[in-house]
Structure 1
């Protein structure tokens, strides 16, 4: 039986069936440094090491077979920034020491294959189907008919919950909805 759950207080999703997957999307590594060069400080992830440490702690607690990265690992859309040249390969190397990585590129991941070390599964940007689930970043139209899938898990949209009285006001969230085929 296929099960899914959000990792409490973390920007990650666990899918358990024949295999266990940890799904993460839209890391945008290098985002802060593009602003910091203009002396604008955002306070998101202040360093690549914090991003790596947070994901490694989730991997350690969840023990997945693979991490599925649903695109936008890096931040620059058309090129690779100096920060990305350094931080993205470091990110991949540290994570792959602990877990298999499957990367489905997003719209910010142009030329990411130049940053991906050996041993990482680089999938088409249209996505992949595992256990009846289409995993995709969401910025491209799939080229094949996916009417056989039961679920779509995607990134790209950056949903944020807004309700002033809520403790999750302003937090990134996963959105789940039912629809008819």
Structure 2
């Protein structure tokens, strides 16, 4: 395989990654923050009534798997929406999700803060990694709600999520809209060395590119990265990011996310 290790799919909150599993090269479709069952969650949490979008989410995902010919689906956390064990509509959506996706590809879930009960729910149908992430060849994956492992940081590209990054764009007459974005940049080794209480020279470090994924679920909120006072949720951000730039889903480069 040739080309970028992680390449976003134009117009979609998803990317194709060149990964390696058990010594064999694979083509992985990577998504983040699917939040199955979010409509039921919003009804319970906030009294918001929304029709279920489960079938649409699943069809969007299956279309991407078919288009990319991916061997594996990597989910960067928050596949489910409940904090604990899935129930009701969410459990039904997750069951349908696994049955449909495993007909096309294997599934690796890097658990996020919403995925506490999924390992037992899935049994051996889904590979559920450690919460600190996993490295598949030259690409490391983490959700971002905790510090990534040193093994993940030793990759050439580190993929993260959790923030649901978005920008607020305003026009000349004061109108505003929210757009999901990718954040890409370089990581600061000193921040991670301090966390692990080691010298920078002790880290296996290849100046990894950092790629933060937009949320696959278009109903969930997120971090407006260009709004003053809106802080990041990940413990290693923004200090761990040197020069992050924002990109719209269609690939438009917006430049330094702090100045968009």
Q: Quick check: TM above 0.5?
A: yes
Q: Classify 1:122/1:179 alpha carbon distance in 2 versus 1 (closer, same or farther; 3 Å).
A: closer
User: Which residue does the alignment assign to 2:13?
Assistant: 11
What is the CA–CA distance in structure 2 between the aligned matches of 1:146 and 1:153, rounded to whole Å? 9
Of the structure 1 ranges 17-26 and 89-98, higher mean CA displacement relative to structure 2 is found in 17-26
Matches within 5 A, 1:41-60: 41=49, 46-60=52-66
1:33 equivalent among 25, 30, 40: 40
Matches within 5 A, 1:159-174: 159-165=165-171, 169-174=177-182
**Contact 1:89/1:115 (<8 A) preserved:** no
User: Which residue does the alignment assign to 1:87?
Assistant: 93
User: Which residue does the alignment assign to 2:115?
Assistant: 109
Of the structure 1 ranges 53-62 and 12-21, higher mean CA displacement relative to structure 2 is found in 12-21
User: Which residue does the alignment assign to 1:155?
Assistant: 161
TM normalised by structure 1 equals 0.86
SS of residue in 1 equivalent to 2:140: strand
1:97 correspondence with 2:103: yes
Question: How far 1:11 sits from its partner (Å)?
Answer: 1.3
RMSD value, Cα: 2.3
1:134 equivalent among 121, 134, 140: 140
What is the CA–CA distance in structure 2 between the aligned matches of 1:10 and 1:145, rounded to whole Å? 28
Q: Kindly tell me the number of residue pairs found equivalent between the two proteins.
A: 177
- Identify unmatched segments of 5+ residues in structure 2: 20-24, 190-260
Of the structure 1 ranges 10-19 and 151-160, higher mean CA displacement relative to structure 2 is found in 10-19
**Contact 2:30/2:76 (<8 A) preserved:** yes
Question: How far 1:41 sits from its partner (Å)?
Answer: 3.4
What is the CA–CA distance in structure 1 between the aligned matches of 2:152 and 2:118, rounded to whole Å? 26
SS of residue in 2 equivalent to 1:157: coil
Q: Classify 1:79/1:118 alpha carbon distance in 2 versus 1 (closer, same or farther; 3 Å).
A: closer
**Contact 1:92/1:117 (<8 A) preserved:** no
Going by fraction, where is strand more abundant, 1 or 2? 2
SS of residue in 1 equivalent to 2:185: coil
User: Which residue does the alignment assign to 1:178?
Assistant: 186
